[in-house]
Amino acid sequence: MGDHHLFLKPWGGIRAEDWYDWKWQFKNSLRTVAPGAVEIDGSPWLHKELLSVTETYPFRVTPYYLALMDLSDQTDPLRRQCFPDPQEIHFSLGGVDDPLGEQCDMPVPGLIHRYADRCLIMATNVCAMYCRHCNRKRLWGRGPFAGTQAYLQPMFDYIRGKKEIREVILSGGDPLTLSDRSLAWMLASLRSIPQVEVLRIGSRIPVVMPMRITPTFCKMLRKYRPLWFNTQFNHPREITPAAARACEMLLEAGIPVSNQSVLLRGVNDSYGVMQELLYSLQRISVRPYYLFQCDPVRGTDHFRVDLWKGLEIMEKLWRNISGLCMPRYVVDLPGGKGKAPLQSFSFLSANNMNSSEHFFDKNC
């Protein structure tokens, strides 16, 4: 994008009680890169360029998340996750909208049943922030579908009829953009299905709008345990005191919090950043669960990291940091074949292969 910089027009006089109110944050999310909303260093063409990206892939970021980044730095890892990039629509290497074939594993619209014992519900396609690397970015452009009974009831009916489903994942979009009331209704409906033992919520809210995690919300969630919460921190700078507090409140409510990062070029594709991220997660008692290889989704090419580089980072982490900090590095196989672990078998490298005794000798 050349040497152009983005400058945000300052908000005048925000009151603290507004800033800490998630509804204010949600309502006041920045949703356009038009001139006047954000100022781009004297370059009309760049505005036009970015606006055309957002016609295909909408833009949205909360004031909270915006305040964490250096807007004048195009390489800022937080800015990179939410600001449109012309590469999203210009340089696709032939990625597809739905490489994981989610649409094919959908017995009911919005429900993906790929693994026998668990299924995933896309409760809404609305998010508090649209992450440019999202593997469901194909869904943003459609009209919002959000948590209505007409949309969800057929999914609940399907689950009730499938005795092998013991775990249900509420995902999206971001389910926490829905109200406490509709979430409570969804959780209660799922809890009323006898074979559903475990509930899971997948949400990036603790990262992009942590004030959504309120005491009332936690009190409500508490009733539906065992409930597991998976979020997505991708960079250590996202672990702010507010984000840490949000996770702590969930933990205090008896809800284990895990993290699923995506390996992203220019965000966290180095040993140093990844180590700091994993250490920071451990400090706030959030368990690293997965590190995803970025899927070959159309419009995300510029984020993809070479698989061997990913393995190299994992290898070095494995040798240097606590096992409790280690996520599993996985790739979601194209065509709905599911997640597969990526593991470097370095101990089988040429040197050691020549003599297995040499390898085992090290234990003595």
Ligand X SMILES: *Cc1c(COP(=O)(O)O)cnc(C)c1O
Identify whether the C-beta of residue 133 lies closer than 8 Å to the C-beta of residue 293.
no
26 versus 130: smaller Cβ distance to ligand SF4: 130
169 is a site residue for ligand X (CB under 6 A): yes
Which of ligand SF4, ligand X, none sits in contact with 63, Cβ below 5 to 8 A by type?
none
Binding region for ligand SF4 (CB under 6 A) out of 126-134, 148-156, 158-166, 248-256? 126-134
Comparison of 172 and 327: residue with beta carbon closer to ligand SF4? 172
Taking Cα atoms as reference points, which of 256, 259, 270 lies closest to residue 221? 256
Q: How far is the CB of 119 from ligand SF4 (least distance, A)?
A: 17
Q: Which does 118 bind (CB under 5 to 8 A by kind): ligand X, ligand SF4, none?
A: ligand X
Which amino acid is residue 235, in one-letter code?
H
Q: Is 295 exposed, middle or buried (0-12, 13-18, 19+ CB in 10 A)?
A: buried
The site partner of 172 among ligand SF4, ligand X, none (C-beta below 5 to 8 Å per kind) is ligand SF4
Which x/- pattern over 319-348 shows residues binding ligand X (rule: CB under 6 A)?
Answer: --------------------x---------
Q: Nearest distance from residue 255's CB to ligand X, in Å? A: 16
Assess 158 for contact with ligand X (CB under 6 A). no
Q: 3-state class of 200 per DSSP?
A: strand
**Among ligand SF4, ligand X, none, partner that 139 touches (CB below 5 to 8 angstroms by kind):** none
Residues between 16 and 75 that touch ligand X (CB under 6 A): none
Q: What 3 state SS string does 302-346 have? A: HHCCCHHHHHHHHHHHHHHCCHHHCCEEEEEEHHHCEEEECCCCH
Our CB check for ligand X shows the closer of 120 and 134 to be: 120
Among 53, 112, 246, 284, binds ligand X (CB under 6 A): 112
Sign, Cα dihedral of 106, 58, 296, 262 = negative
Q: Which of 45, 28, 27 is nearest to 37 (CA)?
A: 28
Residue with Cβ nearer ligand X (116 or 324):
116
Tell how far CA 196 is from the center of its chain. Answer: 24
Q: Which does 174 bind (CB under 5 to 8 A by kind): ligand SF4, ligand X, none?
A: ligand SF4
Residue partners of 253: CB distance under 8 A and separation at least 6: 218, 219, 221, 222
Q: Which residues contact 212 (CB under 8 A, 6 or more apart)?
A: 22, 25, 26, 128, 176, 205, 246
Catalytically annotated residues: 114-115, 118, 127, 131, 134, 136, 295, 332, 339
Helix (H, G, I), strand (E, B) or coil at 162: coil
CA 100, 196, 182, 229 torsion-angle sign = negative
Taking the least distance from each CB to ligand X, the nearer of 40 and 122 is 122
| Alpha carbon distance 33, 205 (integer Å) | 22
**Cα separation, 178 vs 175, whole angstroms:** 6
Partner from ligand SF4, ligand X, none binding residue 152, C-beta < 5-8 Å depending on class:
none
Omega of the bond leading into 86 within 30 degrees of 0 (cis): no
Query: Minimum distance between the CB of residue 65 and ligand SF4, rounded to whole angstroms?
Result: 11
118 binds ligand X (CB under 6 A): yes
Closer Cβ to ligand SF4, 147 or 173, answer by number: 173
3-state secondary structure of 229: strand
Q: Name the minimum Å distance from CB 91 to ligand X.
A: 27
Contact map string, positions 160 to 179, toward ligand SF4, x by CB under 6 A: ------------xxx-----
Binding site for ligand X (CB under 6 A): 112, 114-115, 118, 120, 169, 339
